[in-house]
Structure 1
Amino acid sequence: MTLISRVLGLVRDVVIANFMGAGAVSDVFLFANKIPNFLRRLFAEGAFAQAFVPVLSEYQVKDEENAKLTGTENQHEKTRLLIAQVSGTLGVIVTWVTLFGMLASPLIVMLFGFGWFIEWFNDAPGGERFDLAASLLKITFPYLWFISFTALAGAVLNTMGKFAVAAFTPVLLNIAIILMAIYGSPYTQSPAHALAWGVFLGGLIQFLFQLPFLYKAGMLVKPKWAWQSEGVQKIRKLIIPALFGVSVTQINLLFDTLIASFLAFGSISWLYYADRMLEFPLGLFGIGIATVILPSLAKLHSNNSPKEFTATLDWGIKIICLFGWPAFAGLMILAQPIIMLLFMRGEFTQTDVLQVTMALFAYLSGLLSFMFIKILAPGFYARQDTKTPVKIGIIAMVANMFFNLMLAPFLGFVGLALATTLSATLNAYLLYRGLKAQGVYQLSNKTLVFIGKLVLSAGVMALVVAQLSGDFNVWVAMTFAERLQQVTLCIVAGALSYLAAITLLGVRMNDFKVSNQ
């Protein structure tokens, strides 16, 4: 389901690139979409999920134990009450934040797109971007309200072991944006407005889609304000440091956007498309596995199973490396051809391809670090330790800002991407060191040898793909069909060579079994 979502996400980005290219208008839409997504990470999938899932798992274990003691069927009474209290409390908070965001959209644009505000204030060329951004933000901000409840429903279903529904839900957002871009543009002020309405409708559809599945699971309850209830208080204590932890990454991204607003037209778009290319393997393998691993780790911690807890973390690291290293090697070699295949049409030019490729190279150097963070951070959150990742995140945030200021003046938007990579690598290292210091997880010699085999196999794959891939001018001369055929050939040959190499080096399915030994 996550794969389907990511593929449609790429299709969505292809449509956006075709309609708007990578210029000023594209920058504004991506900015207007980024702000509610930043808050979504706080109120929805990010900090909220990290605080809510461990507490929800704890309540489910209590309900199961109570059912066993009384010899009755599990009615999930405590769990249902917690969901009602959390949804009501979260709903009131998010409603006020959403209303404020819509009313204060010019102020928000001034804060995070200060370069555009200066142009607007001085009647300089490009100042119209400020007005357009404020207009689009009023349309996209309600997405925060819808996605917050979508994430709540997804967290409940994931904790119950029903992962497919939540994994499929983002598909609906992508479909809404694609359809509005194609069919809604003639009826709106601009393609950017059509895409903004696509975000709004996508959020609404995702929210409505989850409700029948919650009802079927017996978890569709009436929201209830309960600021002082025991469960909400526990989540509040966990969510405050988690907010800081998730904010670190998001503040870094907004800081990047602020600096990019002073750089050349298209900088925000080039970074966006490079990030989307990175997000495909990161979302499919990193976030996909992290989504599964957090509820599992939370239940193992609630059941006091430290050996299984460590073994599950080790399994996550192995799976990440199995897919992460070939993704890194393959994208490094095929970055330009894939970007040309996906985006180079309509308003998206050869220059845009080269600029996005440079940013992608900078992001790719941290692909494994981004993936490790997705696995290592749940090792803390599942044990209801949100303070340690926050401290680590603050260090990474300060480092990122330092790297930004040091690299952006010389490397421009590529410096921003490289700064993000360096801070993520620092973050991943400190998370691992923290788990090791607490005696929770340490890479064994066996796992290190296993990872070494994967790295070597990815190197073999890279050599094979490099032999099949031509230089930039060769790809430019190809038709779309020829590019598709050649990229497909490279990917298939790369995958087969990788599989052959890991098999010859002795990697077997047994290496991926969760062992408690």
Structure 2
Amino acid sequence: MSKKLIKSGMIVSVMTLISRVLGLIRDVVIANVMGAGVMADVFLFANKIPNFFRRLFAEGAFAQAFVPVLSEYQVKDEQQAEQNDKQNAHEQTRLLIAQASGTLGIIITGVTLFGMLASPLFVMLFGFGWFIDWLNDAPGGEKFDLASNLLSITFPYLWFISFAALTGAVLNTLGRFAVAAFTPVLLNIAIIGMAIFGSPYAESPAHALAWGVFLGGLIQFLFQIPFMYKAGMLVKPKWAWHSEGVTKIRKLIVPALFGVSVTQINLLLDTVIASFLITGSISWLYYADRLLEFPLGLFGIGIATVILPSLSKLHSKNSPEEFSATLDWGIRVICLFGWPALAGLMVLAQPIIMVLFMRGEFDQQTVLQVSMALFAYLSGLLSFMFIKILAPGYYARQDTKTPVKIGIIAMVANMIFNLMLAPFIGYVGLALATSLSATLNAWLLYRGLKAQGVYQLSAKTLIFIAKLVLSAGVMALVVYQLSSSFDVWLTMKFLEQVEQLTLCIVAGVASYLVMIILLGVRFSDFKVIKR
């Protein structure tokens, strides 16, 4: 099991790395074209709304509800295959996919059409500060009109990506992780292409980027169809609201709609409050979040993608010991990469932001503003990663109610933290509130699994984590000694900055590896061992 998980995790992580690198290039292009001004704020807002619903309907709640049910059907398929009834077993799984895709399709089509027609309503809800300015003909009111226009272009992305997420979930459950992990690369290519080649022909750079989001969703949707056909899972969608499989998914998805998307809801609440803050706040939070998403997506989401189907099958096979051991394996893996990522970004935040984004409309003051938000987000990096591993421990057992209760507590806490911190430290307070609520969320998820007797951190894992923390601390000291001050970085030419940054990163990675080896960390620590 551990070898299969490691192999699958590596495949997803490599594909995710390609996607994240292109994502950074995309953000570099956006920063160069629009900086962190009015147009950037509005485009990032218009891109955030459909992405929020994507995580809510597609990659979030639907995947968490659909994958366990699909895994259950596949376990039944395997049992029937052993009884030489392979055709019937295959047809049952195909039928579930047809019913789920048809039912989801009708719902998503309605939501997408409503979102396009009612885009001003969404802007009013999530950009209320802009709406107030628009009503009063105050400076900044133009943001409301532009955001409404861009949102009507980006909202269809939800329709395309919802089906891409469904087919990706099917392929992941079949053990074909590379296709779904590679798909986001296409979105980044589309946005970069429109930013470079479409901007001269569009009404504004923001409009070109919005059409890039639209095209990216379409390409992602079309890309996965041949792989579904090859897997024998390309079926004709059908409405089946009351079928057994869809009913089970519905019962799981309703609470999961909230529970799995607490982080995204928190980020949207941040956007609402940020619309009342100074121009640039949304952009500063966005660029900081994108840098946070690099290690989170590469390691946290990569491992979580692999672990959910595995946990679902283990639960269906009634293997509680291996279920717990698999969760323990996930925690060890994300800690191995999470702690050095946290330490490295803390020390090199400003040089990294400078090298990636400081050109065109993105100046040194923006570097400082983004770095402050990044420091606040980084305080919750490990918590974000833990959530990605611990939440599947509930969803794989088809328990979506407990994460909902925890999610409500975390969201209320985030709102309280926002109100406590934003008046004093502005957008940095919003980022810090998100990290604090994520830490609370992760702790409650772990406490719940422990109380249910499902999972508890083993003594071996606690010692293992202590070794990683110590190694990451040594790495941070090494990098700090090698890195120059911010003022010195500003005097360097771009190639000199790249050379110095590369040296710091290589030295940091080397010192971390040396330390973990000296402290006795071995490959055997990543085997899934039954307790």
Q: Aligned equivalents of 1:358 and 1:481: distance in 2?
A: 25
Q: CA deviation at 1:75?
A: 5.2
Q: 2:237 aligns with which of 206, 210, 223?
A: 223
- TM-score norm. by structure 1 comes to 0.99
Matches within 5 A, 1:257-272: 257-272=271-286
Q: CA deviation at 1:252?
A: 1.4
Q: CA deviation at 1:63?
A: 1.3
Q: CA deviation at 1:64?
A: 1.4
Q: CA deviation at 1:254?
A: 1.3
Structure 2 residue identity aligned to 1:175: I
Paired position in structure 2 for 1:349 = 363
Paired position in structure 2 for 1:360 = 374
Q: Aligned equivalents of 2:371 and 2:264: distance in 1?
A: 23
Structure 1 contact 64–74 (Cα < 8 Å) conserved: no
Structure 1 contact 146–206 (Cα < 8 Å) conserved: yes
Q: Aligned equivalents of 2:260 and 2:393: distance in 1?
A: 15
Structure 1 contact 63–77 (Cα < 8 Å) conserved: no
Q: Aligned equivalents of 1:226 and 1:444: distance in 2?
A: 44
Q: Aligned equivalents of 2:430 and 2:503: distance in 1?
A: 33
Q: 1:328 aligns with which of 329, 342, 359?
A: 342
Q: Does 1:244 align with 2:244?
A: no
Q: CA deviation at 1:250?
A: 2.3
Q: Does 1:20 align with 2:34?
A: yes
Q: CA deviation at 1:317?
A: 0.3
**Percent identical:** 83
Paired position in structure 2 for 1:403 = 417
Matches within 5 A, 1:151-162: 151-162=165-176
Q: Does 1:452 align with 2:463?
A: no
Q: 2:164 aligns with which of 121, 146, 150?
A: 150
Structure 1 residue identity aligned to 2:427: F
Paired position in structure 1 for 2:69 = 55
Structure 1 residue identity aligned to 2:399: D
- The superposition leaves residues 299-330 of structure 1 with CA deviations (integer Å, 9 ceiling, x where unpaired) of 00001111110110000000010000000000
Q: Aligned equivalents of 1:167 and 1:5: distance in 2?
A: 8
Paired position in structure 1 for 2:398 = 384
Q: 1:101 aligns with which of 91, 94, 115?
A: 115
Q: Does 1:435 align with 2:433?
A: no
- The superposition leaves residues 122-156 of structure 1 with CA deviations (integer Å, 9 ceiling, x where unpaired) of 11111111100000001000000000000000000
Paired position in structure 2 for 1:514 = 528
Structure 2 contact 76–89 (Cα < 8 Å) conserved: no
Q: Can you give the 5+ residue segments of structure 1 that lack an aligned partner in the other structure?
A: none
Paired position in structure 1 for 2:318 = 304
Q: CA deviation at 1:42?
A: 1.2
Equivalent residue pairs, number: 517
Q: Does 1:337 align with 2:331?
A: no
Q: 2:198 aligns with which of 175, 184, 192?
A: 184
Q: CA deviation at 1:35?
A: 0.5
Q: Aligned equivalents of 1:399 and 1:314: distance in 2?
A: 28
Structure 2 contact 330–389 (Cα < 8 Å) conserved: yes
Structure 2 contact 191–209 (Cα < 8 Å) conserved: yes
Q: Can you give the 5+ residue segments of structure 2 that lack an aligned partner in the other structure?
A: 1-14
Q: Aligned equivalents of 2:458 and 2:89: distance in 1?
A: 42
- The superposition leaves residues 276-315 of structure 1 with CA deviations (integer Å, 9 ceiling, x where unpaired) of 0000000000000000000000000001111110110000
Q: Does 1:472 align with 2:501?
A: no
Matches within 5 A, 1:59-74: 59-70=73-84, 72=86
Q: Aligned equivalents of 1:32 and 1:224: distance in 2?
A: 32
Q: CA deviation at 1:83?
A: 0.2
Q: CA deviation at 1:251?
A: 2.1
Structure 2 residue identity aligned to 1:344: M
SS of residue in 1 equivalent to 2:236: coil
Q: 1:77 aligns with which of 81, 91, 95?
A: 91
Q: Does 1:5 align with 2:19?
A: yes
Q: Does 1:35 align with 2:85?
A: no
Q: CA deviation at 1:247?
A: 3.9
Q: CA deviation at 1:70?
A: 3.0
Structure 2 contact 479–507 (Cα < 8 Å) conserved: yes
Q: Does 1:193 align with 2:218?
A: no
Q: CA deviation at 1:72?
A: 4.5
SS of residue in 1 equivalent to 2:391: helix
Q: Does 1:369 align with 2:405?
A: no
Structure 1 residue identity aligned to 2:321: K
SS of residue in 2 equivalent to 1:70: coil
- The superposition leaves residues 239-277 of structure 1 with CA deviations (integer Å, 9 ceiling, x where unpaired) of 001012134322211111010000000000000000000
